[in-house]
Amino acid sequence: MTGLSDRLPGQKHGVLCRLLLAATLLTTELAGAATAHSAEVPATGKNAADKPGEEGASGNGTETMTVLGAAPARADPATLGYQPLRSSTATLTDMPLLDIPQVVNTVSDRVITDQHATSLDDVLNNVSNITQTNTLGGTQDSFIRRGFGDNRDGSILTNGLKTVQPRSFNAATERVEVLKGPSSTLYGILDPGGLINVITKRPQTTAAASVSATSTSFGGSSGAVDVTGPVEGTRLAYRLIGEYQHEDYWRDFGKKRGWFIAPALSYLGDDLTVNLSYSHRDYQTPFDRGTVFDLNTGRAVNVDRKTRFDEPFNITNGYSDVAQLNTTYRLDDAWTAKFDYSFSQDKYTDNQARVMAYDAATGTLTRRVDATDGSTQRMHATRADLQGNVAIGGLYNEILTGVAYENYDLLRTDMIRCKNVKDFNIYRPVYGHTATCDSVSQTDSDQRIRQESYSGYVQDSLYLTDRWIAVAAMRYMYFTEYAGKGRPFSVNTDSSDSKWVPKVGLVYKATPRVSLYGSISQAVVPQYSIANYIGELPPETSTAYEVGAKSELFDGITANIALFDIDKRNVLYNEIIGDETYARTAGMVRSRGMEADISGALTDRLSLIASYGYTDAKVLDDPDYAGKPLVNVPRHTGSLYLTYDLGNVIGANSLTIGGGAHGVGRRSATSGADYYLPSYIVADAFAAYHIKAEHPVTLQLNLKNLFDKTYYTSSIGTNNLGNQIGEPFQAQFTVKIDL
């Protein structure tokens, strides 16, 4: 790939380098000044770990600057059962949830285990205002957050860093955190709806091992192994997680095959912690765009939901890798330096018989055989942070400053495009008349996207009093976009730009268990196009206003409620003048709504996780779609899941039961609102029997879609020919042994 210095004007590149160098020098000087002051400030009797509102805090304001040690609470776990306790996703400083002026929803490891979640879709059914959107035939994670989102939009992170995994959930997942609203100030290029952070399991210093196997009523099975422990005589700990899947697809034909392995090694020193992890996933999955909706009736065509409209060769084969390095070094009692790096890649080849048209009078489909013969995505993401806990003028500050770099590269080489053929009737399906072909489209091949960004940022969480907390942050971001396709290659995007991205928030601690907050934040997404020339257009920019309340209603329960208003400007649209098509960026869309989430333990035996979201998202300014709702965005989402521990059943063995439901309102399926996907509610249940023994055994039965509801999870967004169908009733039986 061409280096940034080879493609950018020297002056701009020099300014950026000087900015990053200045940020680095500033953080170094700040750390040094804080350490120097700590020796000069007289003792005041305040515990070094105290901050306003905590027991022991003097709040006398007599010192100019005091170095504060890390608060003991920082060693607490992120979750306790169903309840989230704290999060590092929102501020990168591991603040308590009540102190953060932004919504963070956490789906804990306990929830994931009880529900036997096997995908991010399963996990995020528990979170308000999140729904599925175009999944590229079921091969990609793809989510709407507060009205915004798409596949491959960079919103799904692993341990706080962007990756290009097509499916980010796997056996190594510990929990999933969702940061709502614009997050570009700390995470760079992102849509304004929020981000999804998949937190993986780390090596443990206590030896443990488990094996599990799951069979499904669809046919086939999967298995997993998890081994962790210390390396004797050293400060090292290891973990090895593996998973294997060989299951039948629930529709007419197809199989899901794959294997996953994730070794990790940690060094746990007095001041230095290093974690090195790697994962490899090899996958084969059906490429299935779902069913067709009849525009005359506004409903799905009247065929069995298992009937596929493609061919048995509709398969995606590929593999993905993620390698990450996470280091933390405690400089002194106040300052901590962190360095994080991630490399990820995904390579795949697919084939599909794509539906191009539907004749409602006869049920005949026009199809075309397409294929991608070689697609490679790679992502480098790195950040270096300096965090400090200091008192300045008697006020406690949690300071974060750092620099970040991201490099994304996509190349699709041979794009197969064959002739349109009317060869399939949905009411009399016959497979095998259409075969794969090797007709390479010269104009569509060699599709390329290159994106680079350099950033410097600073954030201060300032505890003004025992009740008031102010959080302010600023990011400077410089980015480039390069995209095009074809043989010979046609460059359709070649641009660069820079943006200052601010964020401010204020928290009022009404009581130690209740906080009120308000925030204003922004997001930035550059413009690019593989297919059409767009020139150098300004990026999409978003501004969000949010107010809300958070509470720990009583021990064990965390809840939040929020109101939000997000405007997204410079949205790309095409204007036709005469015979020419021109790209414009005057478009504007808006998303307004509210949401509420609650999770934790109601009693020692009863736990719950529940959510409700309302979103009104529509186009405000566009020559063709003004006033139309955004695609795949429902007005209503909701979920409720309860579990109850029955205690000892037959000796010392115990039984846990649970169940619940999640629902989604109707959604516009195309930009022009030509038809709507109907609303649905799906119910699930489970029972887990824990056998106490030298090697404890858990027998668990999960019943998914308990009442066998037919429902549709998303559309492709451009026409009525691809609508994803939700899975029917499924029984999963799991045996897990702790060794």
Which pLDDT tens digit goes with each residue over 539-569? 999 999 999 999 998 889 999 999 999 999 9
| Token digits of residue 200 | 């993986």
Whether the pLDDT of residue 387 is over 90: the answer is: yes
Phi, psi of 82 (to 5 degrees): -85, -15
Mean of all residue pLDDT scores within the chain: 89
SS (HEC) of 629-652: ECCCCCCEEEEEEEEEEEEECCCC
Angle at 20 between CA 17 and CA 24, to 5 degrees: 135
Confidence at 449, pLDDT banded by 50, 70, 90? very high
Which helix (H) or strand (E) segment is 124 a member of? helix 120-124
Q: Where are the alpha helices (DSSP H) in 174-330?
A: 184-187
Which helix (H) or strand (E) segment is 255 a member of? strand 255-268
| Token digits of residue 78 | 């992120």
The pLDDT value recorded for residue 14 is: 43
Reported as a single tens digit per residue, the pLDDT across 332-348 is 999 999 999 999 999 99
The pLDDT value recorded for residue 325 is: 98
Confidence at 574, pLDDT banded by 50, 70, 90? low
Which helix (H) or strand (E) segment is 120 a member of? helix 120-124
Query: Among residues 369, 640, 493, which one has the least CA distance to residue 7?
Result: 493
Reported as a single tens digit per residue, the pLDDT across 508-519 is 999 999 999 999
Give the least confident one: 481-490, 493-502, 585-594, 607-616.
585-594
Whether the pLDDT of residue 1 is over 90: the answer is: no
Q: Are 164 and 139 in contact (CB under 8 A)?
A: no
Strands of 155-234 (E only): list them: 156-158, 161-162, 173-180, 194-200, 208-216, 220-230
Phi, psi of 25 (to 5 degrees): -65, -40
Confidence at 710, pLDDT banded by 50, 70, 90? very high
Residue 239, amino acid: R
- C-alpha atoms less than 13 angstroms from C-alpha of 642 in its C-beta half-sphere: 7
The pLDDT value recorded for residue 577 is: 63
Confidence at 118, pLDDT banded by 50, 70, 90? very high
- Distance, in Å, from the CA atom of 457 to the CA atom of 504, rounded to the nearest integer, reads 13
- Distance, in Å, from the CA atom of 389 to the CA atom of 35, rounded to the nearest integer, reads 11
Reported as a single tens digit per residue, the pLDDT across 623-677 is 888 999 999 999 999 999 999 999 999 889 999 999 999 999 999 999 999 999 9
Please indicate whether residue 575 or residue 95 has the higher confidence score (pLDDT): 95
Residue 518, amino acid: G
| Token digits of residue 101 | 């002026």
Neighbour tally for 428: CB within 10 Å: 8
CA dihedral 34, 37, 39, 43 (to 10 degrees): -100
User: Sign (positive/negative) of CA torsion 147, 152, 157, 158?
Assistant: positive
- One DSSP character per residue, 672-727 reads T--SEEPPEEEEEEEEEEEEPSSS-EEEEEEEESTT----EEEE-BSSSS-EEEPP
Query: Among residues 486, 355, 473, 364, which one has the least CA distance to residue 423?
Result: 364
Over residues 62-84, the mean pLDDT reads 57
Which helix (H) or strand (E) segment is 469 a member of? strand 468-485
Which helix (H) or strand (E) segment is 325 a member of? strand 315-330
Query: Among residues 311, 348, 289, which one has the least CA distance to residue 725?
Result: 289
- The single residue listed with the structure tokens 């929803």 is 105
Query: Among residues 111, 82, 209, 200, which one has the least CA distance to residue 688?
Result: 111
- Distance, in Å, from the CA atom of 217 to the CA atom of 684, rounded to the nearest integer, reads 15
- Distance, in Å, from the CA atom of 382 to the CA atom of 403, rounded to the nearest integer, reads 9
Mind listing the domains of the chain with CATH numbers?
4-429+456-738 (2.40.170.20)
The pLDDT value recorded for residue 11 is: 37
Whether the pLDDT of residue 65 is over 50: the answer is: no
Q: Are 37 and 334 in contact (CB under 8 A)?
A: no
Residue 120 region, left (φ>0) first, then alpha (ψ -120 to 50), else beta?
Answer: alpha
| pTM of the predicted protein model | 0.90
β-pairing, 335-359 with 293-294? unpaired
The pLDDT value recorded for residue 30 is: 36
Reported as a single tens digit per residue, the pLDDT across 138-197 is 999 999 999 999 998 999 999 999 999 999 999 999 999 999 999 999 999 999 999 999
The pLDDT value recorded for residue 50 is: 52
Burial class of residue 695, CB neighbours in 10 A (0-12, 13-18, 19+): exposed
The pLDDT value recorded for residue 537 is: 85
The pLDDT value recorded for residue 583 is: 67
- One DSSP character per residue, 6-64 reads HHS-HHHHHHHHHHHHHHHHHHHHHHHHHHHHHHHSPP-S--TT--TTSTT-------S
Whether the pLDDT of residue 373 is over 70: the answer is: yes
The pLDDT value recorded for residue 94 is: 79
Q: Are 66 and 38 in contact (CB under 8 A)?
A: yes
Q: Are 275 and 263 in contact (CB under 8 A)?
A: no
Query: Among residues 555, 558, 661, which one has the least CA distance to residue 107?
Result: 558
The pLDDT value recorded for residue 337 is: 98
Residue 484, amino acid: G
| Token digits of residue 670 | 């195309």
End-to-end CA distance of the chain: 48
Residues 6 or more apart whose CB falls under 8 angstroms from that of 102 comprise 90, 179, 180, 181, 505, 517, 519, 521, 546
Q: What percent of the chain has pLDDT over 70?
A: 88
Q: Are 280 and 261 in contact (CB under 8 A)?
A: yes
Q: Are 614 and 593 in contact (CB under 8 A)?
A: yes
The pLDDT value recorded for residue 34 is: 39
Neighbour tally for 141: CB within 10 Å: 22
Strands of 54-103 (E only): list them: 65-67, 79-80, 83-84, 86-87, 95-96
Over residues 399-409, the mean pLDDT reads 98
Kindly state the DSSP code that residue 440 receives in the 8-state scheme.
B
- Distance, in Å, from the CA atom of 226 to the CA atom of 240, rounded to the nearest integer, reads 6
Whether the pLDDT of residue 586 is over 90: the answer is: no
Over residues 286-308, the mean pLDDT reads 97
- Distance, in Å, from the CA atom of 607 to the CA atom of 609, rounded to the nearest integer, reads 7
- Distance, in Å, from the CA atom of 114 to the CA atom of 119, rounded to the nearest integer, reads 14
Q: Are 420 and 100 in contact (CB under 8 A)?
A: no
Strands of 512-632 (E only): list them: 514-525, 540-551, 557-577, 580-601, 606-621
Please indicate whether residue 53 or residue 309 has the higher confidence score (pLDDT): 309
| Burial track 514-543 (b if 16+ CB lie within 10 A, e otherwise) | ebbbebbbbbbbbbbbbeeebeebebbbbb
The pLDDT value recorded for residue 354 is: 95
User: Sign (positive/negative) of CA torsion 97, 519, 549, 122?
Assistant: negative
Confidence at 264, pLDDT banded by 50, 70, 90? very high
Q: Are 127 and 107 in contact (CB under 8 A)?
A: yes
Residues 6 or more apart whose CB falls under 8 angstroms from that of 571 comprise 540, 585, 587, 588, 589, 619, 621, 622
Confidence at 66, pLDDT banded by 50, 70, 90? very low
Burial class of residue 26, CB neighbours in 10 A (0-12, 13-18, 19+): middle
692, β-bridge pairs: none
Which helix (H) or strand (E) segment is 349 a member of? strand 335-359
